[in-house]
Amino acid sequence: MKFVDEAIIKVIAGDGGKGAVSFRREKFIPFGGPDGGDGGDGGSIYLEARTGLNTLADFRNTRTYEAEAGGKGMGRDMTGRSGEDLIVPVPAGTLVYDLDTQELLDDLVNAGERVRVAQGGFHGLGNTRFKSSVNRTPRQSTPGSAGERRRLRLELKVLADVGLLGLPNAGKSTLIRTVSAARPKVADYPFTTLYPNLGVVSVGEHRSFVMADIPGLIEGAAEGAGLGIRFLKHLQRTRILLHLVDVAPTDGGDPVRDARAIAGELEKFSPQLAARERWLVLNKIDLLPAAERQSHCVAIVQGLQWNGPVFQISGLSGEGTRELRQAIMQRLEVLQNALPLQLPEESEQKAGQ
């Protein structure tokens, strides 16, 4: 399944029901007067964030959502039935834009959050409403108002505590398979993930975090090359970035040059994102001779002039991943009371392109 992180849909709220024109007609009750009831209100349309949804793929097949119209009013002062509201589930992390005005209507971050995107029409009035001392037999009623119609652009930004960053084939998918129950496709040849995978990493009882396997980046990603900013924006909601570096590239590449290229793409896309807490994770150490591992890794760290946290792991064998998971959990517990992450304005503009 191809990951879909943007969708355009049309929402049509229900029209209000028409009011009735009716007069009371019963034996022995002459001149019963008007008894036409009001119509029912039209149904509104809501978007609601739900757990268990990770893509906007469902909106590729169904692009128009229409709520139920209100029923017509009837005699004997009976009001028409109101149309049912339509609740459309979307993944948590969905931003909702009005396509015509480009206004951000809401950011549905947490499961259960709901936003009304189309207001149902107001009910029409029956002729009973028009009765007066000078108009005992009104024959007018009003139609219900039309339901609101809108075109919406939905944009999904993956919600995760930790985001994996790196070139294609850096071992991100292998790592998330090792530390969580997620099962992204992996291969022993140059291959890149086509859509983000989320995995829950358990560290102990009631201690876990969500890790996102973000598709691999290439030089020029900030300008749209490869998968480009289509997936760079997903990193904006993470609290910690794990920069995976392949210490033994099969193509003979330079790990230092590769790492700098990815850091450069982050800086171009968003300086604020580039300044976010980032850990260096030297992956595939199992491919190096045991006697050369330490010196090789030290050379990479020195070449990058890195002064942040560094971890040496093998995503395939699991070596070093326990220590990495523990360190991440401890750091997230420190950050749990921090203010919510703010999305950089410049990144928002790029992401909407």
Question: Could you identify the residue written with the tokens 């978007």?
Answer: 47
pLDDT tens per residue across span 148-167: 999 999 988 766 788 888 88
pLDDT tens per residue across span 14-48: 999 999 999 988 777 777 789 999 999 999 999 99
Q: pTM value?
A: 0.62
Give the residue extent of every domain in the chain.
6-156, 162-351
So what's the pLDDT on residue 222? Answer: 40
Q: Would you identify the CATH topology of the domain 6-156?
A: Spo0b-associated Gtp-binding Protein; Chain: A, (2.70.210)
Please, which residues have CB within 8 angstroms of residue 244's CB and are 6 or more apart in sequence?
Answer: 164, 165, 166, 170, 171, 172, 175, 281, 283, 315
Of the pLDDT bands very low, low, confident and very high (cuts 50, 70, 90), residue 4 is: low
CA 177 to chain centre: 22
CA separation, residue 276 to residues 267, 273, 343 (Å): 11, 5, 12
Q: Would you identify the CATH topology of the domain 162-351?
A: Rossmann fold (3.40.50)
209 forms bridges with which residues in the sheet? Answer: 201
So what's the pLDDT on residue 215? Answer: 64
Residue 192 reports pLDDT greater than 50? no
pLDDT tens per residue across span 295-347: 999 999 999 999 889 999 998 889 999 999 999 998 988 886 554 444 444 44
Q: How far apart are CA 149 and CA 285, in angstroms?
A: 57
- The answer to whether the beta carbons of residues 107 and 86 sit under 8 Å apart is no
In a 10 Å sphere around its CB, with 0-12 CB exposed, 13-18 middle and 19+ buried, how is residue 56 labelled?
A: buried
